[in-house]
Amino acid sequence: MAGGWSPPGAPGSWRLTAGVFEAIAADDHLLQRLAALPPDRLPALLASAAIAFLIRRDRPVPLVGYFPEPGGSQPRFDDGFFPAFRSFCAARAEDIIEVCDGRHYQMNEVARCAQAVLGITAVSGSRGAPVALVDLGTGAGLGLQLDRYRYRVGTRTHGPVGAGLSLACDVRGPINPPPAELPPIATKVGIDLDPVDLEDPAAREWLQACTPPEASALSRLAAAMDIARRHPEPVIKGDLIDVLPGVLASIPRQQRVIVVDTYVAVFLSEDRRARLAEILAQAGRDRPVTWLSLDPLVPLGPAGHDSVQGLPLPPALIRDYQHDGVFAVLGARVFDEAGDRGRLLARAHPSGGWIQWLSGDPAPEGQVTRTTEPDGG
């Protein structure tokens, strides 16, 4: 997991995020305590958030000096971090577990919106036709605000001038992604098992704790929370498998539906992922429904080898994933009266920092096929 955040050549500001996960993985006592938590609570991720929460609240020296503040610069990372981290965890193990017991992990990395927007552009067909956006696992609803952000992807910039948040995403590889030009979004709905109330200061503090301890990530979160508080969008509370059929049925039939999943399906069981596809296929009988997925491979972790959508993957991509660190793959499955078609679009940094487009020029609607894409390794 650590290698995905800070692989060779990554900005130094991500070294702390990787270091946190390295230190947790090396702490046998903490891992034993975390083993008592149900796997679906994401113990390692939850522990990283609990530790960040306690460090920001209690400000232990010298450990707090490694953690950035929103709006500040990234502190220097050095070998002193690891002994300070081990000492803190040994002394505060009970407090860490107590924080974990009362909370769920909620990461809302708004930078992933840049990658999602490129996917929406690639699959939305006519730029003038309005679409409906359904954001699975929306958390604080930051993903529902993506048309209010400005994007710099490689050397190209798109989005509203004067936006309260600008997101940058580097382009890797020889293929340029499509322009980040969104179609009109006529309907927005988020679904989350435990939505985040941004009017609650404690909820905002926990959301900050769940964000990677990287200066720009914290600044992005603060700006995105401000936008979402000024422009609240509807969020339905409930299990996505239970709630999604009703949400899809409520959307006007003339609107093409794009269901966006960023780091959600990877945490579903295989049976629940299959059920999600069944729900989307059923809704696709009335009008086109696209499932846009930005997820690591499954099973989650460095042994991952399958797309959450069941899309064919180039062998080199799987090899890089297993050897060089976890990243996300961006894929699209389209469900309509013609059936079920899918395409691998890109590989992407887990916190929105870069994207490597794999599929060439976006195929026109109706010509997407579930075939292996060119080897982008």
* Residue-range domains of the chain with CATH: 2-101 (no CATH), 112-357 (3.40.50)
Question: Looking at residues 86-96, what average pLDDT do you find?
Answer: 96
- Decide if pLDDT at 4 tops 60: no
Q: What is the pLDDT of residue 276?
A: 98
Reported as a single tens digit per residue, the pLDDT across 229-243 is: 999 999 999 999 999
What pTM was estimated for this model as a whole? 0.87
Reported as a single tens digit per residue, the pLDDT across 135-194 is: 999 999 999 999 999 999 999 999 999 999 999 999 999 999 999 999 999 999 999 999
Q: What is the pLDDT of residue 2?
A: 54
Q: What is the rounded end-to-end Cα distance, in angstroms, of the chain? A: 19
Q: What is the pLDDT of residue 22?
A: 94
| Closest CA relative to residue 118, chosen from 263, 289, 331 | 331
- Decide if pLDDT at 371 tops 70: no
- Decide if pLDDT at 325 tops 90: no
